[in-house]
Structure 1
Amino acid sequence: MNMNGPYLVFSLICMSLFTVTFSACKSNEKVTKETSAFDEADKIIASIKTLEFPNNTFNIVDFGAISDGETNNSDAIKKAIEACSEAGGGKVIIPSGKFLTGPIHLKSNINLHLEEGAEVLFSTNAKDYLPVVHTSYEGQELMNYSPLIYAYKQKNIAVTGNGVFNGQASNANWWPWCSKEEYGYVKGTPQQKDEHNLPRLWAMSENNTPVSERVFGEGYQLRPLFIQPFECDNVLIQGVTFTNAPFWVIHPIKCNYVRVEGVTVRSHGPNNDGCDPEYSKNVHINKCVFDTGDDCIAIKSGRNNDGRVVNIPSENIVVENCDMKDGHGGVVMGSEISAGVRNVYVRNCKMNSPELDRAIRIKTNTLRGGFVENVYVKNIQVGQVKEAVLRINMYYAIYGPQEGNFMPSVKNIHLQDIQVENGGKYGILIKGRPESFVKNVTFTNVHIKNTETPMSVENSEPVIFKNTTINGKQYETK
């Protein structure tokens, strides 16, 4: 066929039009992909319904509670909750004043409400948290001291108000069990790493010992959680303040449809994570303040064999409009991550403290295994971090060597529209595995100032940059 003359010109025009159209489609596809990620976040938020409760109110004072900060009001609070439950649900009110109590166990269709000026002081006597209940410790289930606030297999529950929950944990109680001298531990006294504590629990997990036979509590040194909805649907925690926690603060485990909103966590004890969704899905953490002794938010999914047996990934989690101050990390995934984490959306947050180690952190190893995928971070203002803006570590180690046969995977981690004033030691710190490279990490419109080392990246696909600067240097992937 003769390609000369008008036919050739026509062919070239058609090819050009195809190229322009194809390029436009590819460009639109990218824009749609970036936009749709947070459209999915909005759908998750919309799926978490507003809770409604019957119009019944039960004031704990009417059941004998005394606000002197010394009288133990456990029975009065329990009676108020039972009366509310028998009436079909409603609001249990803790009015202004200081009320000492042991653990509070919530029931379905009840809103535990703290009025302005209310402070709930939790007993520091470990025996008050017996009998043991089905709970967890660092990603492994067991029978242990009751969490300070606990709900097991309940539906439609809330903790709301403007008051304070004070765990009263200190160097004189609970905290010394962590084994660190700065938290009151005295060498030679019992602590959580003794053979009868965590090593015993680890062995039970590996041997698939039934949870009912993993009995700890009195005589052991495993601290209780602060608030733990366990296997609950439709949970609201709103407005209240938590302080002086024995251990992790807000821990929804095996829950669905959880909203944590307007909550303040100011608690600087050992392992005082702010909010740790575990084996949970459809979680919205909004307008909260975290000032903690450990990770501000840590998304988890079980430790080692326990996590693999349960096999429930944490997924569909939205964090927005939060203020992260002190902590090991702003938003963290791991290290108890054996069942995996996916579909995490973080936007419109502030992270700033000389005692905030990292902004976004992912931590696992070959004992934990698991996966992290589809993490979207957008519009974050970082004032100062100590170590790194993004840290991905697949060699995380605690309690000694952490090597096993369960290769983790990390992929699809996207950061965009982020401003960092003081980036700490590293802008980007990634340590993947030779057998499992970190995949598809992107930085779009990210600007990091005053970091010592812009990047330290091992065993990872090249980070993809678009309109990104670190220490004033432009990074752009062609």
Structure 2
Amino acid sequence: MNKLFPILILITAIACKKNQSEQSSFDESYARAKIVTAWNETMPNILKQVISPSFKDTTYSISDTLSFRSTLNKVIEQISVNGGGTIKVAPGNYFVKGSIFMKSNVNLHISEGAILNFSPNPSDYLPMVKMRWEGTFIMNYSPLIYAIDQENIAITGKGKIDGNCEEVWASWKKKQRPGKMRARQMGNDQIPIEERVFGEGYFLRPPGIQFIKCKNILLEDFTIKSTPFWTINPILSENITVRRLSIQKGTTNDDGIDPESCKNVLIENCTINTHDDCIAIKAGRDQDGWKYPPSENIVIRNNDFTNIVGSGFCIGSEMSAGVRNVFAENNTLRGSDKHAFQFKSNPDRGGFIEEIYMRNMKVLNPVKYGFEFTTDYKGWRGNAYFVKYNNFYFQNITLEEASAISIKINGRSEENIQKVFMENITVKRSPAPVIANFTQDLLLKNISVNGKMISDKDITTTTEKK
């Protein structure tokens, strides 16, 4: 045994709510049937529903560098009223003194050589709008690019968007706690949204691009960097294509792409290099999220991820409306101080995470955790709305190193994590291959850690409560 990387296997499958005499139907045949149906039928059907919007053959060019934002918003409104078209921003440097408001049937095309430099002055993002902040609807500073109740909208072109967060916004993280806790309590108490007034004095940073209740969205080819908060955050929206973006870091909480309570989403061929999570699938926080639809039917493929303090791919922790039917394949993670793949919640959330399929992934540089399922994520306020985790299928995934734990699955005695199938998983170096508590139906096939094969035969099963 390699003394530097001792094999520590602690696998506990506890079925606290299940009749002990009942036999599980979860076996290799069940898992493979699920996998075949998911990848060969469910995913292709999702992709058939993701159709990029098309636009009227009307083009308007804009090169006004003196009053760019005012001119652009007027042109967006005018073109939308007239049935739509494309606005081409000519090459050049543009100062954007406040939010851009997208409207139906408009394609904002940022030409190569064009740079949209957003104002670092928070007051430029007033008056407040209805937006979602960490899963809770509030009235707050407007996102840099914003839309609500629109359809057929696009941002395209090889130009750049710079949120210029470093000058002011980056300092707000240390000041945000009072506002954050007030927003969460208002969500918990179901205060009417129009009474959840924040803005000046609360230090809740707006995201880069937030589209709420929109249909038929295309985000393609541009570079975006240094947004004050989550970079791209569609909410309660459907038919979304995100393709060939370059998303670059700025400050803390700069998640790359966070689809939230969204349906029929394709994210492909993007390069994401952030401080925080590269992709985080979300669905609202606690009571404020329960009345909305889940995030579902999401395909994430052929992307290149790097981050500093987050996960390459995660679900949660704001996931209270539920997340289902997520497919991730052929993605590369170049490294993270924390997680490659994380599924996070706590008993304030409620909801579910189910039908998750991942295959053909590479993690090229060290991470702390390879896979982590956590059901007691930070911020738990002591409620007992236990999240249901069910049907996870991971295949053909290679990690260079997981410096803490390769696979960590922590369910709860009140609600076990159910049906996890892992096949052809290789972790070249790690001190602790598998830790799984309160996990029901964990099936391992061809799992290698530190060159040692680990299978479901290593599982210790007990029916005693913890």
Say whether 1:453 aligns with 2:432. Answer: yes
Say whether 1:431 aligns with 2:410. Answer: yes
Q: 1:31 to 1:193 in 2, by over 3 A?
A: closer
Match of 1:394 in 2: 375
Q: 1:366 to 1:96 in 2, by over 3 A?
A: same
Equivalent AA in structure 1 for residue 295 of structure 2: S
Per-residue deviation, 1:432: 1.1
Per-residue deviation, 1:246: 0.2
Equivalent AA in structure 1 for residue 38 of structure 2: A
Kindly indicate whether the alpha-carbon contact (under 8 Å) linking 1:253 and 1:278 is maintained by their aligned counterparts in 2.
yes
Equivalent AA in structure 2 for residue 409 of structure 1: K
Per-residue deviation, 1:254: 0.2
Per-residue deviation, 1:293: 1.3
Equivalent AA in structure 2 for residue 208 of structure 1: Q
Match of 2:347 in 1: 366
Say whether 1:443 aligns with 2:422. Answer: yes
CA distance in 2, matches of 1:357, 1:145: 30
Kindly indicate whether the alpha-carbon contact (under 8 Å) linking 1:59 and 1:80 is maintained by their aligned counterparts in 2.
no
Match of 1:313 in 2: 294
* Matching residue within 383, 387, 409 for 1:404: 383
Match of 2:35 in 1: 34
Per-residue deviation, 1:82: 2.1
Match of 1:378 in 2: 359
Match of 1:117 in 2: 113
Say whether 1:76 aligns with 2:76. Answer: no
CA distance in 2, matches of 1:435, 1:362: 18
Match of 2:189 in 1: 207
Aligned pairs for 1:131-150 within 5 A: 131-150=127-146
Kindly indicate whether the alpha-carbon contact (under 8 Å) linking 1:395 and 1:402 is maintained by their aligned counterparts in 2.
no
Considering Cα pairs closer than 8 Å and 6+ residues apart, tell me whether 1 or 2 has the greater RCO: 2
Name which of structure 1's ranges 72-81 and 361-370 shifts more when overlaid on structure 2.
72-81
Match of 2:236 in 1: 254
Any gaps of 5 or more consecutive residues in structure 1?
1-25, 180-190
Per-residue deviation, 1:438: 1.0
CA distance in 1, matches of 2:28, 2:293: 36
Per-residue deviation, 1:28: 7.4
Equivalent AA in structure 2 for residue 173 of structure 1: V
* SS in structure 2 at match of 1:269: coil
Match of 1:193 in 2: 177
Match of 2:55 in 1: 53
CA distance in 1, matches of 2:358, 2:449: 18
Equivalent AA in structure 2 for residue 192 of structure 1: Q
Match of 2:22 in 1: none
Q: 1:452 to 1:462 in 2, by over 3 A?
A: farther
Kindly indicate whether the alpha-carbon contact (under 8 Å) linking 1:392 and 1:432 is maintained by their aligned counterparts in 2.
yes
Name which of structure 1's ranges 109-118 and 446-455 shifts more when overlaid on structure 2.
446-455
Per-residue deviation, 1:202: 2.0
* SS in structure 2 at match of 1:209: coil
Match of 1:477 in 2: 456
CA distance in 1, matches of 2:72, 2:209: 16
Per-residue deviation, 1:462: 5.2
CA distance in 2, matches of 1:268, 1:42: 35
Per-residue deviation, 1:98: 0.8
Say whether 1:151 aligns with 2:151. Answer: no
Equivalent AA in structure 2 for residue 56 of structure 1: T
Kindly indicate whether the alpha-carbon contact (under 8 Å) linking 1:57 and 1:84 is maintained by their aligned counterparts in 2.
no
Q: 1:425 to 1:321 in 2, by over 3 A?
A: same
* Matching residue within 94, 108, 121 for 2:89: 94
Question: CA offsets, 1:413-445, max 9 Å, x none?
Answer: 111011222222111011111111111111111
Per-residue deviation, 1:165: 0.5
Indicate the structure (1 or 2) with the bigger Cα radius of gyration: 1
* Matching residue within 164, 170, 174 for 1:175: 170
Kindly indicate whether the alpha-carbon contact (under 8 Å) linking 1:359 and 1:385 is maintained by their aligned counterparts in 2.
no
CA distance in 1, matches of 2:116, 2:198: 26
CA distance in 2, matches of 1:56, 1:105: 19
Equivalent AA in structure 2 for residue 336 of structure 1: E
Equivalent AA in structure 1 for residue 293 of structure 2: I
Match of 1:43 in 2: 45
Question: CA offsets, 1:243-268, max 9 Å, x none?
Answer: 00100010010001111111111114
Kindly indicate whether the alpha-carbon contact (under 8 Å) linking 2:165 and 2:250 is maintained by their aligned counterparts in 1.
no
Aligned pairs for 1:12-23 within 5 A: none
Say whether 1:339 aligns with 2:321. Answer: yes
Equivalent AA in structure 1 for residue 282 of structure 2: K
Equivalent AA in structure 1 for residue 73 of structure 2: K
Match of 1:240 in 2: 222
Equivalent AA in structure 2 for residue 455 of structure 1: V
* SS in structure 2 at match of 1:251: coil
Say whether 1:299 aligns with 2:281. Answer: yes
CA distance in 2, matches of 1:296, 1:29: 32
Equivalent AA in structure 1 for residue 70 of structure 2: D
Name which of structure 1's ranges 216-225 and 247-256 shifts more when overlaid on structure 2.
216-225
* SS in structure 2 at match of 1:169: coil
* SS in structure 1 at match of 2:197: coil
Equivalent AA in structure 1 for residue 77 of structure 2: E
Match of 1:421 in 2: 400
Question: CA offsets, 1:88-140, max 9 Å, x none?
Answer: 10111111111011210000000000111111000111111111111011000
Per-residue deviation, 1:369: 2.3
Per-residue deviation, 1:311: 3.2
Per-residue deviation, 1:307: 0.8
Equivalent AA in structure 2 for residue 48 of structure 1: V
Match of 2:24 in 1: none
* SS in structure 1 at match of 2:367: coil
Question: CA offsets, 1:170-228, max 9 Å, x none?
Answer: 1x30121111xxxxxxxxxxx1112xx12221222122111111111123211111001
CA distance in 2, matches of 1:29, 1:303: 33
* SS in structure 1 at match of 2:236: coil
Equivalent AA in structure 2 for residue 443 of structure 1: M
Per-residue deviation, 1:356: 4.6
Q: What is the RMSD computed on CA atoms of the aligned residues?
A: 1.6
* SS in structure 2 at match of 1:339: coil
CA distance in 2, matches of 1:402, 1:117: 48
CA distance in 2, matches of 1:28, 1:448: 25
Say whether 1:226 aligns with 2:208. Answer: yes
Per-residue deviation, 1:352: 1.5
* SS in structure 2 at match of 1:452: coil
